[in-house]
Chain A
Amino acid sequence: MSFATPPKLSRAQVAEFQKEVDAIRNEAMSRVGQADVDHMRRMIHICRGSEVAGRALLHFGVGPLSWAAGVMALANAKILDNMEIGHNVMHGQYDWTGDPALNSQSFEWDIACDGEAWRHSHNVVHHTYTNILGKDRDLGYSLLRLTDEQRWKPRHWLQPFANLGLALGFQYGIGSHDLELGRYKHGAISREVFKPRLDAFLGKIKRQWLKDYLLFPALAMWSAPRVLAGNFAANLTRNLWTYTVIFCGHFTEGVAIYREEDTRNETRGDWYIRQITGSSNLEGGRLFHIMTGHLSHQIEHHLFPDMPSHRYVEVAPKIQALCQRYGLHYNTGSLFSQFATVMKRIFVHTLPPRALSPV
């Protein structure tokens, strides 16, 4: 794997491509209205109902079946809250409604990652510098080596374990992401910048723990262990699911990685192309798309981060057809096959480069 060879399109073609993508966007955005808010409010209602049901089952249920059902319901609520609701709302997909409950800049979600930190690390850094090595800090989350262009270090021998740890504690992974711990240690970030970030991160963890591991168990009195374990299992389930979906978005086989110098004088058309070639989709039904927060349409999401996500389903065929006409690779597949390529990449890059090449 090496850097993306820039698609062989002339400047005129890129400009034409940009126009066609813009047209697809404008057509979809012109129809945004009541149906979109209704969808989001329905998701919020289901999420709340699911949380209440989950917590009630954990608190008042008896036996392992109701425990498992409670865990699933609570995990479902957290997944909806983080994926279909939080992630999309925080991208500003519903800012046009003027509803303060759907405002991107004030939304806070049920996860150990502080909303404000997320808005920076994800909306600013990742979405602007998608797949530019050294700039997009989501590339391997500063933890994993996913391409030959990243220098191999001995710690990468432990990469499979680091990966497992990241999957299990994914919420803390993305929560601490904006701390830029590595850069702080090397002195690239001052204490004045680092300290408030750390406080925000620890503050958010404290609030989450207070809720899931102290308050609700305490309210359950003699059922405290049952509730504690249930909340832990729900958080774990959410972590594993979000990890899986998010890793399939950019770390699959065939996703292009860019060099900063190649992206300096980018037009919007170039930017569109980078978003398409740097992302990969997952195939599935409506329920699957919702449970992934429509990150199953990672390509469309990266093209149009502020389009209400449930509309990705209707623009996807147009984008795919467009890519075909311009000879751009539109990376899509089932969750299983895409995830297999992610795992392969992680394992392959565990090994130092020369171990691969014949001596």
Chain B
Amino acid sequence: MTVTHNTLKPWPRLASQLVHTLERPWLSAIVRKSAVEDTLNALHPLLSLDTVKARVVHITHESPTVRSFILEPNAHWQGARSGQFVRVQAEINGRRTERAYSLSSRGGAQRLALTIKRKEGGLMSNFMHQQLRVGSVLTVSQAEGEFVLPANEPLPGKILLLSAGSGVSPVMALMRELHEQEYAGDVCFLHVCRDASEQIWVDEMLLIGAQMPGLTVVTHLTATQGRLDAQALLATVPDLAERATWLCGPAAWMDQVHALWAEKGYASTLTSERFGGGPTVPADAGTPVSVVCERSATQFMTEGAQPLLVQAERAGLAPKHGCRIGICRSCQCTKKSGTVENLLTGEISSAPNEEIRLCISTARSDVTLAL
């Protein structure tokens, strides 16, 4: 969703004109945009020319491993639809690190809620759990994603909200939206977690349940009831075929549900959100992988283990370059996603939005470049 000038609030509109002016070469020779941004930041940590910054106003310990962070965004925030996510940026040990988090709050809410599970050894989730305090400021993107309820048409009569583990965040946002809209249809909220200690929002669900006669809440505890496979799912929700379903949970489990839909040929919609399945095992060097170049709108397959610069040139692109041995950085470009190996150091990295040198990087998975 792109927002035009006219729909912006007064300050963001003024700021975006200011940014435009500051980017003129003659003016940026006098004052850099980064200097203005730093000055604003020193005046107030939420002030910015063009970025959404959000202050932590409250932290809730939902369970031993899950916390919710309630954020108050600055004027650049353009709102969200329930179920969407934001990309959160934090500087961790000097490095800007970015991860996507679903909003567990309703789209229309003034304050944003992120509900984050601490992953053993995970960079961002541990940072959030350990370093964030009330008053900390994070940089967040505008809302993105298609995991939303239908906008300009009536809601389906029967709905299944199906979540497992931390996948409950965007599903809860949908639940809250249905509650807000006083949805009168039949909705089943089925959440899978290990045991009762991992169950969150119990009180809120009771409250919502009392106000929504059509709501059934089912919690499936895998520690006692075993995994919720296709059979168990059909047993729990016999009218599955009739329910428009919103699904979020571990990748392998979601694949099973999708397979069930395909196998049975259900006509009802199945909408899902993927959190991404942790670090992928890198492909062997030289395995053909797909490279997508965004700016030039091209896609090609790699051949052999040569660096991406050579591969791109073979595909007919002409990336900027100089030394071709990793010294000058002329060939540097942003890797949006995927795993690459640095041929000089042997380092393998999968971080999103990372600057890489094409002349010394080989692809070890499908990659997307800003090129």
**Residue positions of A touching B, CB distance < 8 A:** 26, 32-38, 48, 91-92, 95-101, 103-105, 108, 110, 119-120, 123-125, 127-128, 203, 207-208, 210-211, 215, 305-306
Q: Contacts A95-B329, A124-B328 given: A33-B94 contact, CB under 8 Å?
A: yes
**What distance in Å separates the Cβ of A311 from its nearest Cβ neighbour in chain B?**
13
Q: Which of B34, B35, B91, B322 contacts A128 (CB 8 A)?
A: B322
Q: Contacts A26-B345, A98-B354 given: A127-B94 contact, CB under 8 Å?
A: no
**What distance in Å separates the Cβ of A131 from its nearest Cβ neighbour in chain B?**
14
Q: In the docked arrangement, what's the CA distance between A104 and B357, Å? A: 12
For chain B residues 325-359, which have a beta carbon within 8 Å of chain A?
325, 327-330, 332, 345, 353-355
Q: Is B238 an interface residue (CB 8 A)?
A: no
Between-chain CB contacts (< 8 Å), 14 pairs: A26-B345, A37-B91, A38-B94, A92-B329, A97-B91, A98-B95, A98-B96, A98-B355, A101-B37, A119-B328, A124-B327, A127-B323, A128-B323, A207-B29
Residues of A within 8 A of B30 (CB): 211, 215
On whether the beta carbons of B96 and A99 are closer than 8 Å, the reply is: yes
Residues of A within 8 A of B353 (CB): 98
**What distance in Å separates the Cβ of B356 from its nearest Cβ neighbour in chain A?**
10
Residues of B within 8 A of A95 (CB): 329, 332, 355
**What distance in Å separates the Cβ of A83 from its nearest Cβ neighbour in chain B?**
17
On whether the beta carbons of A34 and B322 are closer than 8 Å, the reply is: no
| Nearest-CB residue, chain B, relative to A215 | B30
On whether the beta carbons of B325 and A92 are closer than 8 Å, the reply is: no
Residues of B within 8 A of A127 (CB): 323, 327-328
In addition to A95-B329, A119-B329, A210-B26, 13 A-B residue pairs with Cβ atoms within 8 Å of each other are A36-B94, A95-B355, A96-B95, A104-B332, A119-B322, A119-B328, A124-B322, A124-B330, A127-B328, A128-B322, A128-B325, A210-B29, A211-B29
| Nearest-CB residue, chain B, relative to A130 | B327
Give the dominant DSSP class at A's interface. Answer: helix
| Nearest-CB residue, chain A, relative to B97 | A98
**What distance in Å separates the Cβ of B333 from its nearest Cβ neighbour in chain A?**
9
| Nearest-CB residue, chain B, relative to A95 | B355
Residues of B within 8 A of A99 (CB): 91, 96
Residues of B within 8 A of A35 (CB): 94
| Nearest-CB residue, chain A, relative to B24 | A207
Residues of A within 8 A of B95 (CB): 33, 96-98
- The 3 A-B pairs with the shortest beta carbon distances in the complex, nearest first, are A124-B322, A98-B96, A101-B34
Q: Which of A34, A97, A207 contacts B26 (CB 8 A)?
A: A207
On whether the beta carbons of B327 and A97 are closer than 8 Å, the reply is: no
| Nearest-CB residue, chain B, relative to A36 | B94
Q: In the docked arrangement, what's the CA distance between A208 and B30, Å? A: 8
On whether the beta carbons of B26 and A123 are closer than 8 Å, the reply is: no
On whether the beta carbons of A123 and B355 are closer than 8 Å, the reply is: no
Q: In the docked arrangement, what's the CA distance between A34 and B95, Å? A: 8
Residues of A within 8 A of B316 (CB): none
Q: In the docked arrangement, what's the CA distance between A74 and B308, Å? A: 44
